[in-house]
Chain A
Amino acid sequence: MTWLWILPLSAIPVLLVARYSHTVTQQQWAFVLSGVGMGEIQRLRDLSSVERGLARASYLDARGPVDPAEVRRLLDVAYAYVSGLTDRRLARLAHMAQIARMAAAIAEVKPLLPRDYELGQIRTAAALSLVAHHVLVSSGERFRLHVSTLSLGFKLARRALRKAQAGPKIDAGLDDWATLDEAHIEAFRLVLMTLEAEAAKGEE
């Protein structure tokens, strides 16, 4: 019965239960299930829309001057702004990944589509993610894959904008960044809306 020696391993999850906090768990689930998040979605949508407009405008400003040094300086300023916005989105996606397990207990997600993106690297990431999406079984794994792909997409878009010198590359980067931005709001909405729908179904 050599396999019995692996028994001590079974104590690990039990120790995890020992660290459980009922109050904290209740509060997390209350946030996930309550309608409070609905207002947050609209606020996030409005804020993201303004930020996207400002990002595009900052890059448009960089096309005005003829002086290459001035163009470079304005491009750096525009990039710094987009980079800051990207960091905020990555942090938000990291938080989403944390609550994804709770959402996965009762939710389902759709994958990113390569055709929605212009940059080759993001298209490839989306295509690989699409394949993986169909291989994975649980909704939790799919959601975490979705969030990971979005994070990777944001990083690739940011890198493309940093390297971009010409108009078309900047436009492609900004367009993909905007598409990813919509997708990350959709992911946030999906978590809350599906749980809300499930809650309503449960009340019927």
Chain B
Amino acid sequence: MSPLQLAIADAVKVALVLTMLGLACRRRLRLCWSIDAYLVVILACNWLITTYPAIYRTRSFYIQKTAVYDILQLCVAVEVAWYVFRAFPGARATARAVLLAIIAAVAVMIVRVPTVISYEYAVHSYRPQTLSATIWILSATATVATYYKLPLHAWHRAVLLGFATYLLVFVTLLNILRDYGWDLRARVSLIDAWCYLALITWWAVAAWRRAEPIVVPAAVVERLRMETV
């Protein structure tokens, strides 16, 4: 690990801690439990890899941690969708049809994955597929929410925008790596690290930002099940 990569990893740790502190202080942890779990797992893995690189900076650990990341990212996408549509039965019915189709495609994809996978397979084929599914769930949620003009909490908006944008960049980088070879690995890895740092920093800002003002009667807030934190 180069000094620059180490510095970025440390900066990500700081941003992660700030994000979690922000969520806790602003009482936003309950807005998406999956992302809380995701942030904790990311922080733990980051700490393990930078502190004990000899043990944890291995291909087998990479496959294990990315499997956990992917599951949690899917959970985040589904939980945000549930949160956005929970007060809107009509919009929920549309979203359910779209999301079920995506989840069915993911299920088929998971069934096709071999029980034992290589590092190359994980990077080249498995990850782009699972991450694409997450991107499509996030995009479908954003589309249906925009279509019905549903109210979105600032934190959910940050998660939707941040995750979808970052994953899009990440999947593109993985595709570049697959198409142009491993020689680009160091450069691609560095670009990914900078993008990830930007994502977590943005989340930290969003987590600490004050709640947007409520300009409607309490009955409307209650009916739409809007969060005021």
A33/B149 in contact, CB under 8 A: no
Interface of A is mostly: helix
Name A1's contact: one of B91, B128, B136, B142 (CB within 8 Å). B128
State in angstroms the CA–CA spacing of A106 and B147 once bound together: 14
- Closest CB of chain B to A136's CB: distance in Å? 12
Name A7's contact: one of B88, B135, B212, B222 (CB within 8 Å). B135
Which of A8-16, A43-51, A69-77, A114-122 touches B? Answer: A8-16
B214 (CB) vs chain A CBs: closest residue: A26
Contacting residues, chain A, for B135 (C-beta < 8 A) = 7, 10
- Closest CB of chain B to A1's CB: distance in Å? 6
A101-B148, A138-B94 are contacts. A29–B220 as well, Cβ < 8 Å?
Answer: yes
* B: contact size bracket: 35 or more
State in angstroms the CA–CA spacing of A25 and B128 once bound together: 35
State in angstroms the CA–CA spacing of A40 and B87 once bound together: 26
- Closest CB of chain A to B156's CB: distance in Å? 9
B129 (CB) vs chain A CBs: closest residue: A1
Name A30's contact: one of B88, B139, B152, B217 (CB within 8 Å). B217
- Most chain A C-beta atoms within 10 Å of own C-beta, residue among B149, B215, B217: B149
Answer whether residue A134 sits at the interface, using C-beta atoms and an 8 A cutoff.
no
Name A102's contact: one of B129, B148, B154 (CB within 8 Å). B148
State in angstroms the CA–CA spacing of A26 and B172 once bound together: 36
State in angstroms the CA–CA spacing of A18 and B213 once bound together: 18
Answer whether residue B37 sits at the interface, using C-beta atoms and an 8 A cutoff.
no
A17/B94 in contact, CB under 8 A: no
A7-B168, A138-B93 are contacts. A20–B152 as well, Cβ < 8 Å?
Answer: yes
Name B146's contact: one of A20, A28, A139 (CB within 8 Å). A20
Contacting residues, chain A, for B89 (C-beta < 8 A) = 105-106
State in angstroms the CA–CA spacing of A180 and B90 once bound together: 27
A35 (CB) vs chain B CBs: closest residue: B219
State in angstroms the CA–CA spacing of A46 and B195 once bound together: 60
Answer whether residue B9 sits at the interface, using C-beta atoms and an 8 A cutoff.
no
Answer whether residue B145 sits at the interface, using C-beta atoms and an 8 A cutoff.
yes
- Closest CB of chain B to A37's CB: distance in Å? 13
A11/B146 in contact, CB under 8 A: no
B217/A34 in contact, CB under 8 A: yes
Name A105's contact: one of B132, B139, B148 (CB within 8 Å). B148
A22/B128 in contact, CB under 8 A: no
B135-179 contact mask (Cβ, 8 Å, vs A): 1 or 0: 110111011011111111010010011001100100110010000
State in angstroms the CA–CA spacing of A153 and B18 once bound together: 59
State in angstroms the CA–CA spacing of A197 and B143 once bound together: 27
A10/B136 in contact, CB under 8 A: yes
State in angstroms the CA–CA spacing of A11 and B125 once bound together: 21
Answer whether residue B55 sits at the interface, using C-beta atoms and an 8 A cutoff.
no
Contacting residues, chain B, for A13 (C-beta < 8 A) = 139-140, 142-143, 146
Kindly list 5 other residue pairs between chains A and B, CB separation below 8 angstroms, not including A13-B143, A29-B224.
A4-B171, A10-B135, A14-B139, A17-B161, A26-B216
Give me the interface of B with A, judged by CB distance under 8 Å: 87-91, 93-94, 125, 128-129, 132, 135-136, 138-140, 142-143, 145-152, 154, 157, 160-161, 164-165, 168, 171-172, 175, 212-217, 219-220, 222-224, 226
Give me the interface of A with B, judged by CB distance under 8 Å: 1, 4, 7-8, 10-14, 16-18, 20, 22-23, 25-30, 33-34, 101-102, 104-107, 138-140, 199, 202-203
19 A-B contacts (beta carbon < 8 Å): A1-B129, A7-B135, A17-B142, A17-B146, A17-B161, A22-B154, A23-B212, A23-B213, A26-B214, A26-B216, A26-B220, A29-B149, A30-B216, A30-B220, A33-B220, A104-B148, A105-B89, A139-B90, A203-B222
